[in-house]
Amino acid sequence: MWIMQRRRAVALALQGGGAHGAFSAGIVDRLLETGLAPDRVSGVSSGALIGTMLAQGWAGGGPEGAREAVKRLWERVAEAHAASGLSNGPLARWLWGADLSRNPLWKGVETAMRLFSPEQLNPLGHNPLRPLISELLDRSLLASHAAPRLIVAATDVETGAPVLFRNEEITAEVLLASACLPFLFPPVEIEGRILWDGAYSANPPLQPLLRPDLPDELVLIRAQPRRRPGRPGTQAEILNRQNEIAFQRALEVELVMLPRSIRLTNYEPDEALAALPISSKLNAEENVMRALFAAGRETVRKREGASRGVAAS
């Protein structure tokens, strides 16, 4: 079992973004490759999945174990997506890339979401992520003293407050709750609390990362564009932009309250993600995952190059 050798206290905060989480995973991969050693991690939705794999992978094999676990997550997501039927064929990929909006099955899903609630469409609460998460989750590693401290957030539907889960409390149902978008899935109930996606209340939670002691650095990886050019035209575009704005609000409040002694390293997704179609957030095709992962790694490389340029001058 790998024991972390801590020098500086580094907190890692991971936003959610559906399939765009592969972009965040690419950033995490490059940061781990170049020496990132977080002793505390928080995440919601896809960020919660990445944070969980990172924490248990680190406990089992240090930074390389964490990199392998995060990569395996997105490989399995792509495999599950390939079996779903919600994929573009070769010609459609050539014509429209990551855009699923012309896919007949996607059109049917979009129409159904406008007419029926998730509980009407899916009364048994089927979620394709459940078997995948159950397969990958290793709760013994996650609860190990070698794992970074992990906080996963979901949102209490009745109060609107964030509900926080820590290493030993994290189960497949907790991760499904953290990623439960209410227009796609019925809410997840855990110990009598009805839960939705954590991004509605904390995207991701920062305050728990500041206790019991302040970190020296906070690395924030965003997966929701802060600025999206143009006017939303369709119902899907309007709903998506509403969610993006709402998902940023809680985070911006927490950032204002961040102590000045903490160095903030902020990775923005706008250049890589803002021009992508809305449907790409649900497109987990292997080629899309690989492209987003590579874009995340390139985002870090660009910052490294800029830093070297500043140092040289």
Kindly report the three-state secondary structure assignment for every residue of the chain.
CCCCCCCCCEEEEECCCHHHHHHHHHHHHHHHHCCCCCCEEEECCHHHHHHHHHHHHHHHHHHHHHHHHHHHHHHHHHHHHHCCCCCCCHHHHHHHCCCCCCCHHHHHHHHHHHHCCHHHHCCCCCCCHHHHHHHHCCHHHHCCCCCCEEEEEEEECCCCCEEEEEHHHCCHHHHHHHCCCCCCCCCEEECCEEEEEHHHCCCCCCHHHHCCCCCCEEEEECCCCCCCCCCCCCHHHHHHHHHHHHHHHHHHHHHHCCCCCCEEEEECCHHHHCCCCHHHHHCCCHHHHHHHHHHHHHHHHHHHHHHHHHHHC
Q: Which residues of the chain have pLDDT under 70?
A: 1-6, 81-126, 308-313
Q: What pLDDT score does 122 carry? A: 66
Q: What pLDDT score does 277 carry? A: 75
Q: What pLDDT score does 145 carry? A: 95
Q: What pLDDT score does 43 carry? A: 98
Tell me the pLDDT of the chain averaged across its residues.
Answer: 85
Q: What pLDDT score does 256 carry? A: 93
Q: What pLDDT score does 184 carry? A: 82
Q: What pLDDT score does 92 carry? A: 42
